[in-house]
Amino acid sequence: MHSTKKPQKRLIVNADDFGLDPAINHGIIEAFKNGIVTNTSLVVCGKAHDEAIELARKHRLGVGIHLALNEESPILRRDKIETLIGKDGRFFGLSNFLRRFFLRTIDLKHIYSEFEAQIERFTKSGIEPTHLDSHNHVHILPEIFDITLKLARRFGIPRIRLSRNSMATLLKTRRYRRGVAVMGLSTLANIQSRKIGQYKVRTPDRCCGLIESGRLDESRLKDILNSLLVGTSELICHPGIGTAGLSKKYRWGYFWGDELKALTSQNTRSLIDRLGIELIQYDAI
């Protein structure tokens, strides 16, 4: 007799930037306690790192490591990673970093050392990381992905985010500039996926929310959930509380409060139930 059970749709709802700012920390916890967030990624070099660790210990959400090479302050001293930081002692902004990376003025050994230090700082918290990903998805870049895989194997972290959006979603977007960038990122992630088997790490089948980053309102979230494919997907989101200060501090054009509202909406929860979507943490893959 053939089984009539429908193929399963599983969804990790991962909130990025935990540890970056208290407003983000508390938005993520609110979206976990009263919404659909199941997992988060901790910026180890974020200014609100210590608070985030305490919140993570108190609540049972999954926590991965959000490796950073942009905008924040590094863990290591300047003389250890001098090609990664500017005169102000902070990492370069994304565009400056990418320019230097492709001009090959960034020392890959410095990236390895800084990523290693960030992972070591996380492990000292006693929390077992669910996975590795990165701020601005820089771990997907050629050679940096190799570094990330090597460190994942060394520290026994068996899961990594592959930042790849479905092509159908990319073709429907009206955020054209963002769509082109995400298409390039997804293409690169698909190329890098060939290395996964060699290192025996696991990844979700796809990511969603890449195009909607910072603007995941209830309508966009509804569209994502309705178009979710069979298998394991990761929804990337950015909730926050009291976001007027965040908008001054981080000029990314993000609407953290709108994302929090969407993620904690009863309509969202009801839709997930109707669609039979199973919410899981990263360590379930």
Give the CATH number of the domain where residue 58 resides.
Answer: 3.20.20.370
In a domain, 2, yes or no: no
pLDDT on residue 98:
96
Quick check: is 250 in a domain? Answer: yes
Q: Which amino acid is at 4?
A: T
SS3 64: strand
pLDDT at residue number 3 = 46
pLDDT, position 167: 64
Is 273 a member of any domain? yes
Number of compact structural domains in the chain: 1
Full domain range(s) for residue 273: 9-284
Residue 1 lies in a domain: no
SS3 for 29?
helix
* 233 Cβ contact list (under 8 Å, min separation 6): 9, 10, 11, 12, 204, 205, 206, 207, 208
The candidate with the shortest Cα–Cα distance to 275, out of 235, 222, 236, 239, is 222
Q: Provide the pLDDT for residue 101.
A: 97
Cα–Cα distance for residue pair 108/87, rounded to 1 Å: 20
- Confidence (pLDDT) at 171: 56
Residue 4 lies in a domain: no
Query: Does residue 33 form part of some domain?
Result: yes
Closest CA to 200 of 231, 143, 158: 158
Q: What's the pTM?
A: 0.93
Q: Residue 277 and residue 285: Cα distance in Å, rounded?
A: 15
Q: Is residue 50 part of a domain?
A: yes
The answer to whether the beta carbons of residues 161 and 93 sit under 8 Å apart is no
3-state DSSP assignment of residue 237: strand
Residue 130: both structure tokens together: 């669910």
Q: What is the DSSP letter of 85?
A: B
Question: Per the domain annotation, does 100 fall within a domain?
Answer: yes
Q: One digit per residue, pLDDT tens: the chain, 285 residues?
A: 444 555 699 999 999 999 999 999 999 999 999 999 999 999 999 999 999 999 999 998 999 999 999 989 999 999 999 999 999 999 999 999 999 999 999 999 999 999 999 999 999 999 999 999 999 999 999 999 999 999 999 999 999 999 887 666 655 656 667 777 888 888 899 989 989 888 889 999 999 999 888 999 999 999 999 999 999 999 999 999 977 788 888 888 899 999 999 999 999 999 999 999 999 999 999
Q: What is the pLDDT of residue 165?
A: 79
Token pair in block for residue 47: 């200014």
